[in-house]
Structure 1
């Protein structure tokens, strides 16, 4: 009668408390699904927003009497669109006027077909790309009815289209998942073998499997628990959101990098540096006018002022905006005045190969044509035979003077300034015929300006992280080799002691000579070095606690399992500090600045405390005393000194990296 009563009491307890396991599993699954769904939904919305922004091409139109930048989706019929080299024509329209305008119709036909536009006859521009020159177009139709709209609608542009980076990340995720699956299968096999061979024991210390004496329900419950443990390993091992998270991070970083600013910091006339504005520096009137023509005529930028008191609105490329801002704000020039008294005859638009742009103009009521060139200083200087001094007189550019100006250019480049030169010449009409060819020799140097592209905050730190990770950082640029070298040093790409030969090509030299580390992925070695000791230590500790924990701490099976769980969680918490600095021994440097990291650590500790101390039935844990808490935290904290000792072991490839950094 007593046995029957005991059995019924156990059944009542089982009915009353048995739902905890199932309920906790359901809650955990529900929580994971909800969090994953919300996270993936938000990331997808962000990715959609970035995709929409990437298709939102910016164009310049003439609206309200001035040039304005706006979205391709805001262009309306009857509007005049400004076109320049590299622009995608956003709608169908008629070419109005321009100079040296060439369009590429390969985007429509699929074959390379460069067409030069003649302003003497109407030309329909439709969904093409400007390859050279500049001009203006009258919009005749917009939207999906245009050739551009039809072309875009025929292109499959899906968000799930994989980039090379996403493909690599998906491959990595798949690899991690396969490893997790393999480990789960091995754990499942080992646990099943241990159970059916009678090597596992229950909370009272008795063997769980006794052959035929064990009830079928007990066997099924044990097997289900073992399978659940294996499934848990699989779920934890697969990082589902890794590819999308990394893609979003890079996309937002690129978005921030696109905000470029430049400014003029130096101005030279011949061999003399100019300070202050035009009047205080004593710049001659004739030279001032020529510089005003050089800036106002040889540009695709624009300056707009609603009234004399308003701040001018300046549009154009970063370089054009910097030069126009300097001319208008520093020198007080009216860059629109030359356009009113000159007629443009021919234009050679800027391109990355020649690194210069030129314009041939005829002054009204004059029988001479003027040629203005602007571009990379060393190339413009090579076209000159004379130069101006600030008094407005012209001097011969002999060998000594040329050498001194070259030194000026080199010194500006050494300060990471992009040196832009202006040159001018005038040619008389021959028998009333106006020439259309831009002379490229015998020019007179007007002046030099040095443009500063500020190194964005965080660039040097980002380069340092890449170098620490074994990424071979290279800088590809069309700048003067000395400018490129100075910028590379400023960004931390190049060591200051690495020299450059005067006879090198700027891009190839910079690509080949700054050794910034070996090509093999050092990050893999660093991660492997840090992962192995931590994994070995954690596995050793957890196995020791599993098989010897009861005897070591003198506790029952339930408390031992709680201590294993608690120790494992704190091992991960302490290891997160190690993961902050894979290659540096001081893992706490700058930690007070990372408030998000500290908040996550704090929340994790609080949740773990609640789970162990207050969720006994839900989490299947037992309360721990102070000594047991101290033991769990102390064992986990050993990962810090272990990580420090293993970081003292050199990794192949880091010696070269550190030697370069020291040099």
Structure 2
């Protein structure tokens, strides 16, 4: 590793400059040939051919590296990056072409009802021009113009929505990778990779480009994304050295040479032929169903209106047709009917979800929540359980060694004086264990000068190095670097140990199931220098292997039969000594410290060959009879906002559980500090958890708050039992999960249970579970959860890929904000639903009622299209973008099957609809006398139209509250979109009334008429206040955790308010029809001879 004053650039000396220049000239001159050679070893489904060409044409991975101008160990030179990118392309995949605004505008005309309306308008235009060339075009043109306005606004909204989702997708694709350049590890954005880069990957990483292995330790890769094969593929330098982009590392560690990036990679070639479809969220599907039902009622109302208009005017009052032809009147009635359908079909319902999700996901990103699947946003709002990891989520993941026992010497406040307290020989053994048994990588302090190369997030303090990798390993490495040695090369010792290279060393990385890791180091027989912590390189002739082991303290202790003494000698461990160590571990754990032990075993080549040993053999034959070197107590402080966040969750009806791999004592101490483990709560270890029967687990689930020393499989089982996901539902599935077990007698006795048994115990409705995870093995639990929450900082690529939401800062408090936004989305949709159904009911009813009592419909086609714009697109923008209120976390989550409309919402819709209908019927009958205008005139209908629109404007304020609270102005300053929509609606309404003329068939109103009609509309506000005094409470059974006695709700009841209003309307219609028929009979009798 370069010293602190050294420059990492190869241009620091003349020889470096000439080498770089030669590499650049070679790449530019041979780029065409090189591209052909690289393609010859990267043909899809051609392993034998690719391997043959690699070995014979390119002389293996080392020869390939030479051809690409890359040092297999030091990596490429940074000054060649731009040349490589120019010759071989960038690591970016071409995104799907974005629809232009024009295309989106044209897409709006796919709506069948708009198409019918356009055709009807064209017919009206033709007939109008034929009958009256001077003014007959006005109505048809007005309808067409209104349709264009509606389509334009919809297209603008779709364009903005797509822009927001593209921003979200770009954030989702942002990944960092680890490469070696100029003999330094660099963490760079994935799109900065170039051909010739030496890329470092480990279990859980997604492979960022196609490559050829240089170093591989027990590598297994999931290639199902490319090949469809479900079995992991073993990779090695001898048999299959090729790794492909888009695949994931399931096991092992590796370094590989990048040979194809971006669109030239195997994944890039496949993706170029894929057209990704956007699936709908559950709430969108639910609203689509509701929109369809309301649309059917609207069609029935349209048909009834058309028939009523024709029957009354053609049969009962034929005198009306003296100045208009039957055809023209039928066309007019048809246009009104189609317009009713346009208004009735609430296309704004699914649109409101999309707008709300687009708005929320962008805001959530600022709150450190990256939404991968849109459905997770709404689902998170109704989460009833959160199963959280401890490290990094509840704690800061800022590990510091604060206590320990090193070479049988206890150090509490003297942790930094260990080199003085113990023998140098003992210190050397401990330092070897720290340096060699580690997968963390160190970026030296000098790398700060190269922030432009993609490492802006190093946060270097006091020239300390930045360590990439496991934070526990980082704590030990930092302790060794900063406190125990004046040298700056602890990490270099791990490199010099030559693990995974031709020297013959092996590494078995840390596993969450084993809770430990092991490395074999090849060393020569000479003694290690007492004045340096650098391990000498192995010699090829005399090899002696040393095993270094690190892991959970109590697990490592059980494998040790010796311990390292203060003078560096190995002593036999008596039962008394073992109990002393165990007691120390319990003491540290009770202080919320993570306990990690270091151990070693020498001369293991006499037992097995480390070069060929498997992990299973290692566990059985080698990880025993070891010498315990040290036990470190590592402090990871609780995040400062976790206690409040946990309390908020509990107040919101969310059960928080800690699921961790840590010691039970440590887990309990942290859980108590966080407020998770409460009086009467249960904590247990994974070993005991696995022995429970489903019935026993169900009994303790309401109180199980801490699951310690758990494996990823335990977490998966817990999720399955909570929400019923992936529980075996057939005999074959159960037998596959439990081989050699009897299905008939044991299906209800082994976890996770059997679907039929689970459903009966919960009436088929499980919990809504959010689960955090950061490791590769957490993927099954993340997928089984209703919302999988992966960690953005510490999570593997596999975990992120399996999750629904990525917590960018790994903070539990960010999860609480995700819950708040999820509830806000759900409530915003309900606000919009409450508003739109009210407008729907009133607009359809008044149009229908006016038609059957003999009036020309007071709202013509243009007016109704304007109303449709107000209640659909504009209403969705106004109410779908309302910011979340903290009060949303003061209630329990809703059940999965709860209705979209609550009892208080029914009351609000009914009261507002009755008021508005009463007002409009009053204006329909008494308006001419009140305003001194002709009955049924344009002036008369403009007054009614203006009052109706302002009823909606003021009712939109009412709709901001869906419960009993009346505060229409609350947080109004935080809702700029709402204010903008209100202002736009009022200004546009004024322009339509005052300047619409023949185009909108409106009549300019006087100042007095404006004051009266706006004032009448404003009565919606006091109506909103008084209607909330009617005692209607929310159905308690709609909330999670409360038993429902009457079964699942039927969505048809969502139309209850509509039906309650239409029944008396139809009674009035029948009465009016009877009156008209009776009058017609009298007139006929009067004219008989």
TM-score (norm 2): 0.48
Q: Does 1:63 align with 2:181?
A: yes
Partner of 2:745: none
Q: How do residues 492-503 of structure 1 correspond to structure 2 at under 5 angstroms?
A: 496-497=678-679, 499-502=681-684, 503=688
Partner of 2:902: 528
Higher RCO structure, 1 or 2 (CA under 8 Å, sep 6+): 2
Pick the aligned partner of 2:252 from 106, 125, 133.
133
Q: Paired residues, what number?
A: 622
Q: Does 1:504 align with 2:884?
A: no
Segments of structure 2 that go 5 or more residues without pairing to the other structure are 1-128, 372-391, 450-459, 500-504, 528-542, 691-706, 708-714, 724-765, 769-891, 934-939, 1044-1089
Q: Deviations over 1:373-418 (max 9, x none)?
A: 34445544554567789999998654465245235325428xxxxx
Assess, with a 3 A threshold, how the Cα gap between structure 1 residues 486 and 465 changes in structure 2: closer, same or farther.
same
Q: Quick one: distance in 1 between partners of 2:643 and 2:926?
A: 50
1:183 partner SS: helix
2:517 partner SS: strand
TM-superposed CA distance for 1:533, in Å, is: 1.4
Q: Is the 8 A contact 2:550 2:556 kept in 1?
A: yes
Q: Does 1:33 align with 2:215?
A: no
TM-superposed CA distance for 1:269, in Å, is: 0.9
Q: Is the 8 A contact 2:599 2:626 kept in 1?
A: no
Q: Quick one: distance in 2 between partners of 1:160 and 1:459?
A: 40
Q: Does 1:358 align with 2:518?
A: yes
TM-superposed CA distance for 1:653, in Å, is: 4.4
Q: Deviations over 1:574-622 (max 9, x none)?
A: 21x204xx6x847679726724366346535753774587556476374
Q: Quick one: distance in 2 between partners of 1:167 and 1:562?
A: 37
Pick the aligned partner of 1:180 from 284, 288, 294.
294
Q: How do residues 17-166 of structure 1 correspond to structure 2 at under 5 angstroms?
A: 25-48=143-166, 50-51=168-169, 58-104=176-222, 110-111=228-229, 114=232, 116-117=234-235, 121=238, 124-127=241-244, 129-142=248-261, 147-150=266-269, 152=271, 157-162=274-279, 166=280
TM-superposed CA distance for 1:447, in Å, is: 0.7
Partner of 2:303: 189
TM-superposed CA distance for 1:264, in Å, is: 1.6
Partner of 2:549: 373
Q: Does 1:578 align with 2:948?
A: no
1:231 partner SS: helix
Assess, with a 3 A threshold, how the Cα gap between structure 1 residues 214 and 299 changes in structure 2: closer, same or farther.
farther
Q: Quick one: distance in 1 between partners of 2:677 and 2:149?
A: 51
Pick the aligned partner of 2:987 from 580, 601, 607.
607
TM-superposed CA distance for 1:563, in Å, is: 1.7
Q: Which moved more, 1:56-65 or 1:314-323?
A: 314-323
TM-superposed CA distance for 1:641, in Å, is: 4.7
Q: Deviations over 1:547-591 (max 9, x none)?
A: 23456784464323422232133212321x204xx6x84767972
Q: Does 1:543 align with 2:917?
A: yes
Assess, with a 3 A threshold, how the Cα gap between structure 1 residues 455 and 168 changes in structure 2: closer, same or farther.
farther
Q: Quick one: distance in 1 between partners of 2:470 and 2:970?
A: 35
Segments of structure 1 that go 5 or more residues without pairing to the other structure are 1-10, 201-206, 414-418, 659-663
1:133 partner SS: strand
Partner of 1:449: 634
Q: Is the 8 A contact 2:313 2:321 kept in 1?
A: no
Assess, with a 3 A threshold, how the Cα gap between structure 1 residues 610 and 458 changes in structure 2: closer, same or farther.
farther
TM-superposed CA distance for 1:476, in Å, is: 6.8
Q: Is the 8 A contact 2:437 2:548 kept in 1?
A: yes
Q: How do residues 222-237 of structure 1 correspond to structure 2 at under 5 angstroms?
A: 222-224=332-334, 226-234=336-344, 236-237=346-347
Partner of 2:468: 316
Assess, with a 3 A threshold, how the Cα gap between structure 1 residues 283 and 500 changes in structure 2: closer, same or farther.
farther
1:68 partner SS: strand
Q: Quick one: distance in 2 between partners of 1:510 and 1:460?
A: 22
Q: Does 1:421 align with 2:617?
A: no
Partner of 2:971: 591
Partner of 2:493: 338
Q: Quick one: distance in 2 between partners of 1:225 and 1:422?
A: 81
**Structure 1 or 2: larger strand share?**
1
Q: Does 1:569 align with 2:721?
A: no
TM-superposed CA distance for 1:478, in Å, is: 5.4
Assess, with a 3 A threshold, how the Cα gap between structure 1 residues 399 and 84 changes in structure 2: closer, same or farther.
same
Assess, with a 3 A threshold, how the Cα gap between structure 1 residues 318 and 338 changes in structure 2: closer, same or farther.
closer
Q: Is the 8 A contact 1:95 1:124 kept in 2?
A: yes
Partner of 2:752: none
Q: How do residues 467-482 of structure 1 correspond to structure 2 at under 5 angstroms?
A: none
Q: Is the 8 A contact 2:423 2:566 kept in 1?
A: no
Partner of 2:282: 168
Q: Which moved more, 1:219-228 or 1:273-282?
A: 273-282
Q: Is the 8 A contact 2:263 2:269 kept in 1?
A: yes
2:908 partner SS: helix
Q: Does 1:278 align with 2:408?
A: no
Q: Quick one: distance in 2 between partners of 1:458 and 1:44?
A: 38
Q: Quick one: distance in 2 between partners of 1:407 and 1:421?
A: 13
Q: Which moved more, 1:106-115 or 1:403-412?
A: 106-115
